[in-house]
Amino acid sequence: DQQVKQNSPSLSVQEGRISILNCDYTNSMFDYFLWYKKYPAEGPTFLISISSIKDKNEDGRFTVFLNKSAKHLSLHIVPSQPGDSAVYFCAASEKDNDMRFGAGTRLTVKP
């Protein structure tokens, strides 16, 4: 029973354009959401997070949006760069409880 779902296994965008990665969750008790980025042969690295008391969090080119009523969050990357090509995992947790991950979306940014 996957509580966190990333329905797009892959996404391809042109350099300079916006990348939008989507994530849906089913557990209404989740109150903290994160995005991780993973390059081949490396572990996932933390990218950006948002708590349920916010609907937007921004860090440079990366913005995460949370829609609690729809149980949906998205990661926007603007502008996209070739170095952003990686697998992106969405994750969610309740405070002090274990974290659940989505299956990941492979982003390819073409020069």
Partner 1 sequence: DADVTQTPRNRITKTGKRIMLECSQTKGHDRMYWYRQDPGLGLRLIYYSFDVKDINKGEISDGYSVSRQAQAKFSLSLESAIPNQTALYFCATSPGSGGWETQYFGPGTRLLVL
Residue with smaller CB distance to partner 1, 4 or 13: 4
Q: Looking at beta carbons only, is 15 or 94 nearer to partner 1?
A: 94
Q: In terms of Cα–Cα distance, which of 1, 22, 25, 18 is closest to 10?
A: 22
Nearest distance, CB of residue 62 and partner 1, angstroms: 15
Least CB distance from residue 11 to partner 1, whole Å? 16
Contact between 37 and 43 (Cβ < 8 Å)? no
Residues that bind partner 1 in the complex, under the rule CB under 8 A: 2, 4, 6, 9, 31-32, 34, 36, 41-46, 49, 51, 89, 91, 93, 95-96, 98-104
- Measured between its terminal Cα atoms, the distance across the chain in Å is 38
Q: How far is the CB of 44 from partner 1 (least distance, A)?
A: 5
Token couple for 82: 């070739």
Question: Which residue is associated with the tokens 């948002």?
Answer: 50
